[in-house]
Amino acid sequence: MTDSPAYVDEESGRAALGRALRYLRERSGKSLSQLAGETRYDKSYLYRLEVGQRLSKLAVMEDLDRHYESGGLLVQLWKVARREVFKDRYKEFMRLENQARIMWMYQLAVPGLLQTEDYAREVLSAARIPGNNGDLVEEQVAARMSRKEILNRDPAPQVRVILDEVAFRRRTADPKAWTDQLNHLLDAGQLSSLVLQVLPFSAGLHGLMGSHLWLMWEPNGNSVAYVEGNGFGELIDDPEKVADHRLSYDRIRDLALSPSDSMAFVRGVLKEHRP
C-alpha cells in the first residue's frame, strides 16, 4: 500500500471511492470487522462499498469522513461517483441544475427535488427493467436524495414548480408514503425560495402535455431548457427555442392555481387520502 491513494482519469468514480475507503481503513490498522464494530454499518455492507459494488447515501460518507478524520475526502469522491448512477444524457443537465440561479419546472409527477425517500423508491422500483436489482434501485434513491441539497445552497436558487393535477391522482401503493409525500410538498411550499403551483384538469388542453420542462438560468444570465418525455431527454440552449419554451411556460402559469390556492389543493388531496 502506498502512502496515499492514487487516482487516474480512466478509473471510475465508484472505484476511486472504494479504493479510498480501503486505504483509509488499512491506514488506520483496522479490519472490516473492527470497523463494523466501531460504526453502525454491517461488515458486508462496508465490504461492498470498498469493492465498488454499492454506492452509499451521502450520510454514510459523512460519518466515515468523521470517523477517519479525512477532511471531507470521501464526500467529495462520493459526489463524483454518484454522477455515474445517472445516464449520460443527464450529466450535463445535472451540472446545470447544480449551478442554476433560477429554475422553473412543469412536471407531470413530483420532481426529484421534492420527493421523499419512500416516494422515490417506489417510483424507481416501478421503472425497473429485467437485470436491475434492489441494490441498483437503492443507489438511484441515494443519488436522487442527494440532489435535494440544491435547495439548501447559499444563496438558494429561486425555484418555481408547476405540478400537473395528474401528479396527485396517481398515488403510491403505500398509503403512508403518499401521506408523507403530500406533507413534504406542503412543507416545501413554505420555503421562501420555492413557489409551488398546481395546474388543475379544469385548465384544459395546453402546449406542454406529455412532457416535463425545466427552464434554468445560470449565474452568468444564460438560460437553457430541458425537455423530457417517455424515453427521451433534450437539452436546449438555442436562444429562440428557449424563448419559445419560456412562452409555453408562461401560458400554463397563467392557467395554474395561485400558490395559496395550490396549497389548499394539496391539503384537500391529503384530506381525501385520510379516511
Q: How far is it, in rounded angstroms, from Cα 82 to Cα 143?
A: 6
For the chain, domains (ranges, CATH) are 13-83 (1.10.260.40), 88-273 (3.30.870)
Confidence of residue 4 (pLDDT cuts 50, 70, 90): very low
- pLDDT the model gives residue 274: 77
Q: How far is it, in rounded angstroms, from Cα 96 to Cα 17?
A: 24
Which residues contact residue 118 at a Cβ distance below 8 angstroms, ignoring those fewer than 6 apart?
Answer: 172, 174, 176, 177, 180, 181
The more confidently predicted of residues 171 and 126 is 171
Confidence of residue 9 (pLDDT cuts 50, 70, 90): very low
Dump pLDDT digits (tens) for 24-39.
999 999 999 999 999 9
pTM for this model (two decimals): 0.69
β-pairing, 194-199 vs 212-217, is unpaired
Confidence of residue 102 (pLDDT cuts 50, 70, 90): very high
- pLDDT the model gives residue 95: 82
